[in-house]
């Protein structure tokens, strides 16, 4: 479906969260823009930054996002693709998300591989001048696995100045288009949520 690995990038100082996704050939395949000042998350995913083709929508099921469930919808067909939910208090130190299919059945889990790396990245990032280099020193990674523990995708933070850059790799094949869309959308939303939490 996509030409992996995918590269995700966002400007750290942008007012409205925006995320660009390019494939292995450098072609932009997704562009995410989050609306400002919305009590419930409303996120549009477009084919590119011109925002002429609206591909997917992500909507939260409640105002407080700490335990919200985010549903993915195909904007063309109107069909649900799946959902993702952060594991609340259990994932304060180490990010963990449950990924659901279109029938709202849990199928996958995203876990941060090492919580201490993110803590070090966040602490160093707050130090004036030195913080500019935190993006080059620490590289948190997040693995998506089946419920029996088989890794299927991995997102890794990459070195960058003044922007967040991530690399998304597919570890195994065998998923349908709708499943793969939900997997990629889960990572996009996770990046936006983790960005807002530092």
Alpha helices in the chain (DSSP H): 115-125, 134-137, 177-196
What single-letter DSSP state applies at residue 126? T
* CATH number of the domain residue 10 falls in: 2.40.160
Q: Total domain count for the chain? A: 1
Domain span at 135? 6-196
Print pLDDT tens along the chain (198 aa): 899 999 999 876 655 678 899 999 999 999 987 765 554 567 889 999 999 999 999 988 876 556 789 999 999 899 999 999 988 655 455 788 999 999 999 999 999 887 555 555 555 556 565 555 555 556 788 999 999 999 999 999 887 666 678 999 999 998 888 899 999 999 998 888 876 554
- Any bridge partners for residue 57, and if so which? 44, 73
Is residue 124, in this structure, part of any structural domain at all?
yes
Is residue 30, in this structure, part of any structural domain at all?
yes
Is residue 133, in this structure, part of any structural domain at all?
yes
Distances (CA, A) of 41 to 12, 45, 62, 89, 135: 19, 13, 9, 20, 27
């Amino acid at each position: 479906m996509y030409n992996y690995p995918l590269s995700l990038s966002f400007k750290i100082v942008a007012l409205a969260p925006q995320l660009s996704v390019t494939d292995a050939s450098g072609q932009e395949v997704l562009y995410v823009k989050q609306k400002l000042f919305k009590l419930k998350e409303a996120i549009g995913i477009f084919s590119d930054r011109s925002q002429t083709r609206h591909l997917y929508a992500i909507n939260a099921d409640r105002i407080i996002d700490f335990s919200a469930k985010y549903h993915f919808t195909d904007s063309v067909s109107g069909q649900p693709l799946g959902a993702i939910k952060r594991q609340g208090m259990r994932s304060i130190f180490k990010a963990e998300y449950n990924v659901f299919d279109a029938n709202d059945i849990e199928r996958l889990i995203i876990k941060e591989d090492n919580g201490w790396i993110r803590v070090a990245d966040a602490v160093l990032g707050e130090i004036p001048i030195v913080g500019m280099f935190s993006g080059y020193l620490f590289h948190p990674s997040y693995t998506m696995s089946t419920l029996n523990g088989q890794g299927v995708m991995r997102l890794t933070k990459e070195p960058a100045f003044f922007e967040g850059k991530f690399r998304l790799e597919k570890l195994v094949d065998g998923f349908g288009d709708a499943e793969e869309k939900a997997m990629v959308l889960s990572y996009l939303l996770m990046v936006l949520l983790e960005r807002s939490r530092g």
